[in-house]
Amino acid sequence: MNKKLVLKIILIIILLCRIGVPFLIFSYPLQTFLLTIILDYFDGLLFNLLGFRWYQYNTIDKILDYWWYLFILLFLRGQTVFTIGLILFIYRGIGQFIGIVMRNEKVYLYFPNILEWFFLTNLLFPNSQTNILLLVSISWSLIIEWLIHKSHLHLISKYIFHQEMKWK
């Protein structure tokens, strides 16, 4: 089997996992979060290695991200932080829509993925003050979005896989 075919098969498996893994959130929330982050990274790397254009990858990635965010929202349902989660879900959703339509990743700097990090901080520190968790989540998400969408710093692909991520 040639390398490109193997990469395509792996990409399909990862995309299918990105669809299926969120169902695990109700039994294994932290593990599901970690697995989702890993899968999200590797599909981008594979799309890049296979020569897809950025907007093709971005459209699929943001749809799968939104799928994951729906499960986060379902997980938060009934919790005191649900309203904040819903606001963050809508906020990011608006940004994702604009980013896909405009084909401009810089939009994500203005609509950072706060929801995912807010979810994580609530898992790790469930008895902490919500405003502190929200502040940490906003700060961290801004750093992450800047690293990905402004600086294009892809440390894992560069130093572990020795592969620069340059999109068409």
Question: Measured between alpha carbons, how far is 136 from 112 in angstroms, rounded to an integer?
Answer: 13
Per-residue confidence (pLDDT) for residue 41, from 0 to 100 = 87
Tokens of 126: 């469930």
Per-residue confidence (pLDDT) for residue 27, from 0 to 100 = 98
Question: Measured between alpha carbons, how far is 106 from 166 in angstroms, rounded to an integer?
Answer: 16
Tokens of 109: 């700097």
Mean pLDDT by 10 residues, the chain (168 residues): 90 97 98 95 88 93 97 96 97 96 91 96 93 94 82 58 62
Residue 163 contacts residue 45 (beta carbons within 8 Å)? yes
Per-residue confidence (pLDDT) for residue 122, from 0 to 100 = 95
